[in-house]
Amino acid sequence: MKLSQIAKITNAKARIKKDCFINKFVIDSREVSIGDFFVPLKGSKVDGHQFIEDAFKKGACGSFSSKNINLENVLFVNNTLNALTEIARYKKNFIKTKIAITGTAGKTTTKELLAFSLSKFYEIYYTKGNFNNQIGLPLTLANVDKNYKYGIFELGASRKGDIKYLSKILEQDISIITNVGFGHIAGYKNFEELLTEKLSIIEPSKIAIVNENLKEYINKEVLTFGYSQYVDVKVLESKLEENGTYGKIKIDNKIFEIFFPFFNLKIIENSCVVFLIFKILGIDFNKLPEIFREFKPLNGRGNIEKIGNLSIIDDTYNANPNSVKNAIDTLNKVKRKKILILGDMLELGEYSKEKHEEIGEFILKSNIDKIYLYGEEVKYTYEILKNKKDVKLIDKTKISEELKKLKDNYFVLIKGSRSMKMEEIIECLKGGKSP
């Protein structure tokens, strides 16, 4: 894509000295390389416009700007994010079939598993990491570099209207909802509003796949997965084995045994989505069990690390009530001594006390040997557990020190919301600086 074409699509006033083909769109000037196009965005703390000159010094061949600036190869627009979104609307047409995924828990892992599986048959395009918001989706689409048969995109929803807005940009053909729980509830009046927002992902879609417990809220035909006899893909069994997670699922009257080389009971549900997508697209799903054995999750999403006498389940990327319960269920099935390290679950708004207490009650029913809590909101969890479980409410440095003193072989689950930076405990155990 050339600068002149970008100017035409966005109706920009162009000051082009030398037209050039751009390499990719970039929103962080520190990541600019030769041939990139810089998109300066105005944030709550920093305005990207102040880094336009830096971007050119690093080799950018062009930049948007909503401010008058005396530089060449600048395209002047009223709003730089809107301009990026216009590019995204244009580029989405390079992808024949677009698949959108949302959900309170499991959407990123499902997206990664689906992308990994489809890539064995086709070159596909998909959201990297969790670029799933009003900036991440347009940036992902804008960087589509050629024609693709399939694209997979994660849609996040922090507030009312997010999913509808992102769906209007993407106009997906197939939509997937992994589940709906209390994650990001702070951006909504109540759970019903959050549920309505998540369900809106299916409106533009020709086909929708949802967790079976959502079907009653939907007034159109959908494909379902779950545990009842009425679903399109049924989970027959899920359990932990010595080296990973084993499951058994049923689709089209065929039973498949599947295995993943890490611990995550919910991955069996996630795999049901992949089976359904393969069926919809007419791809042979008989090969999926073999493919699943090769899949590894992203860092911080359930991968296992061995540090000394400890086996660490690194689930530090994020936390909400649903995902915490799922993780505890998984830890509960481990046949060794167990430790739970839990940080605050954030973005729960007025539900924070209730949900942290609920997690406390959930832990009481578990067979976890030791619990370490870190943060402000987990004090409500602590009040439920104290005098009933071996629990401590301490900072990350002290947690790391206590873990280093342990002599026995423990399985340790570490989880918390993103801003709690629970991964610092793992880095400290590896010999890094104290949290």
Query: Is the pLDDT score of 129 beyond 80?
Result: no
For residues 267-272, average pLDDT: 96
Q: What percent of the chain has pLDDT over 70?
A: 100
For residues 280-304, average pLDDT: 94
What pLDDT score was predicted for residue 189?
Answer: 86
Query: Is the pLDDT score of 106 beyond 90?
Result: no
For residues 24-39, average pLDDT: 96
Q: What is the pLDDT of residues 199-255, one digit of tens each?
A: 999 999 999 999 999 999 998 999 999 999 999 999 999 998 888 999 999 999 999
What pLDDT score was predicted for residue 181?
Answer: 82
What pLDDT score was predicted for residue 434?
Answer: 76
Give residue 77's Cα distance to chain centre.
Answer: 31
Q: What is the pLDDT of residues 241-269, one digit of tens each?
A: 888 999 999 999 999 999 999 989 999 99
What pLDDT score was predicted for residue 435?
Answer: 77
Average pLDDT for the chain: 94
- Kindly indicate the confidence band of residue 128, based on its pLDDT and cuts at 50, 70 and 90: confident
Q: Which domains does the chain have, with CATH numbers?
A: 3-77 (3.40.1390.10), 88-292 (3.40.1190.10), 303-429 (3.90.190.20)
